[in-house]
Each structure stands twice: as structure tokens, then as C-alpha cells.
Chain A
Amino acid sequence: MTPPLYIALRFLTHRKRALLLSLSGVICGVAFFICMQAQTQGFAKYFIDSSLGSNGALIVRSRFEPRQIDSIVPTKTSNTNVAHRQYFEGITNANEIMRVSRQFSNVVSCSPVLRGTLSARSGFENATVDLYGIDPALHLQTTDLAHQIAGGSLYDFRNKPDSVIVGSRLAESLHVEVGDTLQVLSPGGQYRRFAVAAMAKSGVGSIDSTRVYCHARVAQTLLHKPYAASLIIYKLRDPDRAPALAQHFENLFQHDAMSWQEREQSTLHLFLTLRLSAAITVSLVILLAGFGIFNVLTMTVLSKVKEIAILRSMGYRGRDISAIFLWQGGMIAAAGSVIGCGAGALLSWGMSKIPIHLRGLLSTDYFVVAWDWRHYLWAILLAVISVFIASYVPARRAAQLPPVATLRGSSV
């Protein structure tokens, strides 16, 4: 143990009240930071997982062709030839695209979907629904639909072509339950009756309140589409690489491709803003703890002027004196971070047990928390930086105190 560390330890343990005050500030700051980050990221991660589980990490949509437009009168600010795309509805060669894309190492599975917007009715209730015509086997491989079933039987859906899976919140608004009949209005103006085989709950409000799954062939008949798929959804091994793969697929297949990051951009920005806002708010707690430590250490320096002079007379250097106070800050930061991390984990666990009836952007019955070691790292880093800055000024002041004035018995 170095002499400054030894002396710092003794100084600290003899000022228990001040030590506890400083320590509790750091503990609270670190714990609150971890808990807030766990919550905000928890909800963001829940949304992303739900979105990926329902809509895939990447989707390939309409075919396009590059179109060159020749401007007759060139403007000053534009090129003579402006590239545009001409889109063609639907995917006519879905099987071929899926066969090729399965060769990519990042692709786990893919599933064609025929999508359309229709009106549905049950009793006196009407709703606009987002119809997903799916191949059950492929869709279950590609999405988390199997885990999202909140009632009914997936087996019934797979074996009965005239059955549907209804989003949980849509079922609530239409007052339908498993076994009931749902009438879907085709573009030709005729109602077709479906048995509700199951209900799905993804956790994302916009999906659960509009989506209806039916068999792809039935959807094609109902929607009167000449093609069997309007989009292909992909499950990827590494969803973070979806944007690059989307770009590659666009070039390769000449079909519009969109990554989940692009698809959920606005919501992800919202979560990011919330996380940053929470982080800034809670960082203020750590900053306040830093001010507390600054005060405590400044008071310690003032009360230890005599001891500092004694140490200097015994051959302790200015930087030794400085180190004594920096060590005190360091020990508060270390102990505060360790206990704060424990308290943060406990607080996060406690939060995850608090019931909450959330039915908006997300549907959840409990606070969602994310367990991420980076929250702890950031909290420790913030605490260490804050405490270091708070300790530095008093430490510097202590090192610069002239010992002679004190030893003479005069005031400094």
C-alpha cells in the first residue's frame, strides 16, 4: 500500500458521516442510471424483438426498373439525366428470389407474404385489417408467430384453409374470440367468412390492432391478385447487418428492399431520444454527487491543513498530498460504483416485477428491462469521471498549501 493510499484510507474512515454522504450520492447516481437505462432500453429492445419477430429483419417488396428521364431544358442545379425508378406491384418470381437469397450466409429463412388492406366485420363491429396471406410452414420458420399465439390453436389454422389468426387487440375491438366467425370484405364487395383459429399477440400495438393472418392461396383469391407474394420477409442471423444486405438485394433482384432499421426508423429515434433524455437526467444525479464530494473533500482539505503541513515537513511531496485526496475520491468512486451497480441491478429487477397495463405503442403487463453490461460500464465511467473532477480541485489546492504558514501557527 502506497503512503498516500494508506493516509487517504485513514482520513476517510475517520470522517464516517462525510464518507457515507459522498458514498450514498454516488450509489444513488449509479443505481438510478443503470435502472433508467435498463428500462428505456428494455422497452426499445422489446419493440425491436417484437418487430423482428413479426415483420422480419428485412423485407423485399415490389420490383422496379431504373428509368432515365431526359430533361429537355436542363436546369442549373440538376443533371441532364435524372435516374428514377418505376415500380411494379408484387413479386412474380418469389420462389426464385427466395432460392437465391437462401444462399446468403446471413439469411436464416424467408417467407413470402401476400399483403392487402381489407375491411372486416364481426357482429356490428367493423375494422380495417392488414391481411397477411402466408405459407404457415415458412412463416413459422421465419417469424415468432408460434410464440405469439395468445389463444386458440396454430394446428387448427394450419389444417383449415378458411381459418384466420387475428391480432389480439383487433380481436378485442371486434369482440371476437377463438371459434367465432370473422367476415372479411373482398375488393369485389363480397363478404367471406373465416373461423378464428387463434389470436396472436406480438406486443407491438400497430401489429396487434390490425393484423389478420390467413393462408396465402386464400388471400390471393380474396385480394384478386395475379401474383402470390407482395413481399418476402427474412429472418437474419445478424439483424444489425440488415441495411447492407438490403442494399445488396436491391441491386441483385431489382426489387425494393428495406431493412428493419429503415422500417422502424421513427420509432427507434423516439426510443433513442428517450434514452438520451433519461441518461442526461440521471447523469445530473451523478453530477450532484460529484458536487457533494467536492464539498466534502474541500472541507476535508480545510480541516486537514495542519496534517498536510506536518506531512510536508516529513518529506511528503506536493503530489503525495494531492494523491491522498485523489485516492479518497477514487475509493468513494470505486465503492460507490460497486455498491451502485448492485443496487442498480436490484432496482432493475424490482422494476421488472411492477405490473403495468400498457396498451399503446407496446403491449405489456410488466415493466420491461434490458440487462446490458454496457449500462454498468457507462454508469461506472460517469461516476469515476465526475468524482475525479470533484476530487481534482481540492487535491490540487491541498498540494499547493504552503506548509510554513501553518507550522508557524498563523492562518493560511
Chain B
Amino acid sequence: MNADVCLSCHDIERYLGEDESRVHALRGVSLDVEPGSVHAVVGPSGCGKSTLLYILGLLDHPDGGSVMLESEAVSHLPDDELARRRNEFIGFIFQFHFLMEDFTAQENVIIPMRRLGQLPEAAMRDRSAELLEAVGLSDKLERASRHLSGGEQQRVAIARALANEPRVILADEPTGNLDTKNSQRAFELLRSIVHQNQMALLLVTHNPAIANACDWIHEMQDGRIIASHAGGFG
């Protein structure tokens, strides 16, 4: 096993639904993600991209196979331990931003830090301000997230995903709800941060331009990775 791999999965099997509506969503999927690399998972709707992402993000349990986080098998860990690993090692970005609407931009970024509990209140505020400044929102720290534009909300989500300095960022169509300009901007921002901080980024996307801009592209079909190759600009 490659010692540089920060997140990997082997022979992942996953069934969704019950009885007659049961679907074999993932059929023996294996994947390695190295620090500093950007991976795109592409494929038609329903091919199992998001299912794979949530299993890699320890939000869902595979029916077979294993997930390794920094060479440690984690699939079998109890729920509390999985939550701790998610908090420490993984940052999530979702298509619809999924910010806490009643919270300000800064409070949203602080939420994962509060759970980690390693920084005092003032330090959390400073770090969240730095992160929001890095994504170009230094003037909107105190603004309620529901009053931000779609592009701004996605940038807050990026800052929030980076809050605990995760090893891996998992993004489920992070630009799916943005216009072309904002999509490109958000992706460039993510990619530069990931490369800068030697994190790993795995994103699910339907956008060919974004997929081509990634280091690796994994094509999925019917619950399998049918091809993995370097990105167009990689």
C-alpha cells in the first residue's frame, strides 16, 4: 500500500433501498487519494458517485470492502469515532452550500472548530476571519448566510470545509448550483488551497471543464469505476 495515500477504499460494495427497490449502487469500487492531488469523479446520474463520496466521508457504511484513512481501516469504527475522524480529517462541500441559515458567515466557519475544541473563542474568530478573507469575504463576516449570494455562500462553505485543516476535502458537485464564472472561480480557489496546503480534494462533478482541470478523473458507470486517467490539464 502506498504510504502517501491519505484516503483510500477497496472493493466497496453498497446496496441501497429495500426488497424490490434494492439497488446495487457500488460494485467493488477501489480508489486511492494522495495529498496534494485533485480527483474528479464523473459519470451519469445514479451511477453511484455521491454514494461513494458519502462512504469515503464516513457518513455512510459500505456493505462490503473497507475505507482507509491515513492507512487506518475506519469502516468498522463506532459512530462517535467516525464523527471524530470526520471532524478532524475531512471537510465537506455540498452542491447547495448547506450553510446554517440563521448563522453568520463567520459562525458557519466556526462550527467545525467548536466541535474540535482545540482553539479558544478568540482564536476561532481569528482563524475564521482569515479563512473568509482567503475566499474573499473579509467584509461579510457578520452577514447572515441567507443574505449572501449563491457564489458567496459557496465560498463560505469552502472556508468552513477548511476550518479544521482537514487532510481531505470531499465535494459533491460544489459548483453545480453556480453560474460558469462563479463555478470556475470557486474551483480555482479550491484547487489552489488544496495544492498550497497539501490536502487532497475529491469532487463529484458533471462539469467537464472542471473535471478536466483536475489531476485525476475517475469515470463511473453502474456502480463501478470504469476508467481512471490524468486530467486534461494535469
Which residues of A are in contact with B by a Cβ distance under 8 Å?
A: 3, 6-7, 10-11, 14, 306-307, 309-320, 403-404, 407-409
Contacts and interface: CB of A to CB of B under 8 A. Distances in A.
B79 A318 contact: yes
B87 A408 contact: no
B79 A311 contact: no
A277 B55 CA distance: 57
Contacts of A316: 83, 87, 115
25 contacts: A3-B114, A3-B115, A6-B114, A10-B107, A11-B102, A309-B98, A310-B98, A310-B99, A310-B100, A312-B59, A313-B57, A314-B86, A314-B92, A314-B111, A314-B112, A315-B115, A316-B83, A317-B79, A317-B80, A318-B80, A403-B59, A404-B54, A404-B59, A407-B94, A409-B96
A404 B84 contact: no
B13 interface: no
Contact of A313 (B59, B85, B107): B59
Name the residue in A10, A315, A404 with the highest tally of chain B Cβ atoms < 10 Å from its Cβ.
A315
A311 to B, nearest CB: 7
B87 A10 contact: no
Nearest to A321: B83
A309 B92 CA distance: 11
A103 B76 CA distance: 78
Nearest to A408: B50
B115 A407 contact: no
A110 B30 CA distance: 96
Given A316-B115, A317-B83, 19 more contacts: A10-B102, A306-B98, A310-B100, A313-B92, A313-B94, A314-B112, A315-B83, A315-B87, A316-B83, A316-B87, A317-B79, A318-B80, A318-B83, A403-B59, A404-B59, A404-B60, A407-B98, A407-B172, A408-B54
Nearest to A14: B102
Contacts of B111: 3, 7, 311, 314
B103 interface: yes
B208 interface: no
Nearest to B93: A313
B218 to A, nearest CB: 19
Band of interface residues on B: 20 to 34
A318 B84 CA distance: 11
A3 B59 contact: no
Contacts of A409: 95-96
Contacts of A408: 50, 54
B73 interface: no
B119 interface: no
A6 B172 CA distance: 28
B209 interface: no
A142 B233 CA distance: 105
A407 B53 CA distance: 11
B116 interface: yes
Contacts of B59: 312-313, 403-404, 407
Contacts of B107: 10
A311 B112 CA distance: 8
Contacts of B87: 314-316
A12 to B, nearest CB: 10
B130 interface: no
B27 to A, nearest CB: 19
Given A10-B103, A14-B102, A315 B96 contact: no
A306 B146 CA distance: 14
Contacts of A314: 86-87, 92, 111-112, 115, 160
Nearest to B80: A317
A404 B85 CA distance: 17
A407 B86 CA distance: 15
Contacts of A311: 111
B88 interface: yes
A315 B102 contact: no
B222 to A, nearest CB: 18
Nearest to A320: B115
A408 B115 CA distance: 23
Contacts of B172: 407
B56 to A, nearest CB: 12
Nearest to B103: A10
A310 B94 CA distance: 9
A320 B120 CA distance: 19
Contacts of A317: 79-80, 83-84
Contacts of A320: 83, 115
B103 to A, nearest CB: 6
A46 B84 CA distance: 61
Interface string B161-174: 00010000000100
Which of B84, B94, B107, B117 gathers the greatest number of chain A CB atoms within 10 Å? B94
Contacts of A403: 59
A33 to B, nearest CB: 34
Contacts of B50: 408
Contacts of B98: 306, 309-310, 313, 407
Contacts of B115: 3, 314-316, 320
A6 B111 CA distance: 10
